[in-house]
Amino acid sequence: MTAPPTTIPDAAQLTARLIRCPSVTPDEGGALVLLADLLGAAGFECHRVDREGVPNLFARWGARGARSFGFNGHTDVVPPGDPASWTHPPFSGHEEDGWIWGRGATDMKSGVAAFAAAAIGFVTETPPDGAVILAITGDEEGPGKHGTRALLDWMAATGERMDVCIVGEPSNPDRLGEMIKIGRRGSMTLRIEAQGVQGHAAYPHRARNPIHALLELLHELTAAPLDAGTAHFDPSGLQVTTVDCGNPASNVIPERARATVNIRFNDAQSSESLDRMVRERAAAISARTGVDFAIATEVSGESFLTAPGPFVDLVAGVVRQETGLDPALSTSGGTSDARFVKDHCPVLEFGLVGHFMHQVDERVPAEQVRQLARIYRRILERYFA
């Protein structure tokens, strides 16, 4: 008895089905089960990769070790807020006038639906000499410690490999096809505490004011640009996001003062070099003022670049053909899970227009999701041609 033919899902309808899975980080909500069932029926070998209670899904069609093309994305979403503020319930997947409504419609159940539909259609109708891999996480909107990182760790331990990868995050500002992300800035946060000597404001010679020393450090960090930018990146940027001493009295010099600094940096910098720069300036001010500094550094990711070449040209060529637009090669924006994938293989980001992300009444044009699926399908065909 032969197996029934595989049904190729419509990307827009699959988006609506995924939205109906209430997968607020870290709850899976049934989204990964739905995808595993669809992919498994199409011949994908599926594995649940759960770590520390965070659900993830790995799916591969084709032989392990064969030439491979990967997609990465997430099914978890941010909380919807007050459902009463929505025109349609946030997990309804409501379809009306060509739009699909619901939390995750843009970020990024539509992207996952598009590459899942494209992959199923491709391997069903034109089976490639190679492997197609989908790495889908439930922890992108949360801490990000046990999502794509867990999948990549599991892949390394089991001998799985993507040769190249597209992250399906929304990448276009206004029109589908106008931008491909070929890299991202690094991101780091420094929490700085200055400790001086408390005293009376009328007798400053008997105290050491940590606020003055901290402000001197912050002035040095912000007075001049960190760099002038590079070939594919804008200048690095440093922003002071908090300053506080918790002092309710106007006549007391406080003992401590704190500030938080966030740096988004290009490929002329590294978190290590920037951390060293801040600490050296703090040490010089400390030696002059007698105020001690304690600095805690958190690094969300290093900057990275997938340099223009065959992979970038292939994707840009398909986007140009399918949309009629010449996509800009950009490194703008915040961070994404591409910051983890870049240590595994060359990675690009290409997805839908980013309107309505994380907003009340998040929604996406159904036809745009179908167009994205066609683009992904054509990319697979070109890659394995």
Binding site: which residues? 74, 107, 141, 169, 358
Tokens (6 digits) for 214 = 């901290």
Mean pLDDT across the stretch 90-101? 97
Give the mean model confidence (pLDDT) for residues 355-368: 96
- Distance (Å) of CA 121 to CA 10, 100, 196, 345: 10, 22, 65, 24
Query: What is residue 4's predicted lDDT score, i.e. its pLDDT?
Result: 57
Q: How much is the pTM?
A: 0.91
Mean pLDDT for the stretch of residues 228-254: 96
pLDDT over threshold 80, residue 5: no
What is the amino acid identity at position 61? W
Task: Give me the catalytic one of 28, 95, 139, 140.
Answer: 140
Q: What is the DSSP string of 90-131?
A: TTS--EETTEEESTTTTTTHHHHHHHHHHHHHHHHHS--SSE
Number of Cβ within a 10 Å radius of residue 185: 24
State yes or no: pLDDT of 176 exceeds 80: yes
Give residue for tokens 């965070």: 54
Architecture of domain 11-184+304-384: 3-Layer(aba) Sandwich (3.40)
Q: Mean pLDDT lowest for which of 5-14, 19-28, 278-287? A: 5-14
Per the prediction, the chain carries an average pLDDT of 96
Distance CA 259, CA 243 (A): 4
How confident is the model at residue 103, as a pLDDT?
A: 98
Please state whether beta strands 179-181 and 99-101 pair in parallel, antiparallel, or not at all (unpaired). unpaired
Is residue 140 flagged as an active site residue? yes
CATH class of the domain at 186-301: alpha beta
**pLDDT, mean of residues 224-233:** 96
pLDDT exceeds cutoff 70 at 40: yes
Point out which residues pair with 262 in neighbouring strands. 189, 239
Please give the average per-residue pLDDT across 241-252, as a whole number: 95
* Helix, strand, coil in percent for the chain, rounding step 5: 30, 25, 40
Confidence of residue 6 (pLDDT cuts 50, 70, 90): confident
- Which letter, b or e, does each residue of 151-178 get, where b requires 16 or more Cβ atoms within 10 Å of its Cβ? bbebbeeeebbbbbbbbbbbbbeeebbb
* Orientation angle between helical segments 109-125 and 11-19, nearest 10 degrees: 140
pLDDT value at 114 more than 60? yes
Please name every residue paired with 186 in a beta bridge, in sequence order, or none if there are none: 265
Known binding residues for Zn(2+) are 74, 107, 141, 169, 358
Q: What residue segments make up the domains of the chain, in order of their start?
A: 11-184+304-384, 186-301
Bond before 26 cis per omega within 30 degrees: yes
Query: 3-class SS at 245?
Result: coil
Q: Identify the band that residue 245 occupies on the pLDDT scale cut at 50, 70 and 90.
A: very high
58 token code pair: 């790995």
State the pLDDT at residue 335: 82
